[in-house]
Structure 1
Amino acid sequence: MLPLTLLNAAQNKPILVELKNGETFNGNLQACDNFMNITLKDVYQTSASGEQFWKMEECYIKGSTVGHAALTQIKYCRVADALIDAVRESEEHARKQRQAAAGHNRDGRGRGDAQRGRGRGARAQRA
Structure 2
Amino acid sequence: MARQVVYLHLHLPRYCTSLGLGKGAFQNSKICAQTTSSSQPTTVSFSHYCSVLKNKAIVDEAEKLLKDFKPVNHNVSKHIKVIVAFNAKAIFSTAKETEEKIDMELRDLQATLVNNKEAHPFQNFTVLDTGKAHPCIIEMARR
Q: Shorter-chain-normalised TM-score: which range?
A: under 0.3
Structure with the greater alpha carbon radius of gyration:
2
Bigger proportion of residues as helix: 2
TM score, norm. by length of structure 1: 0.27
Higher relative contact order (CA 8 A, sep 6+): 1
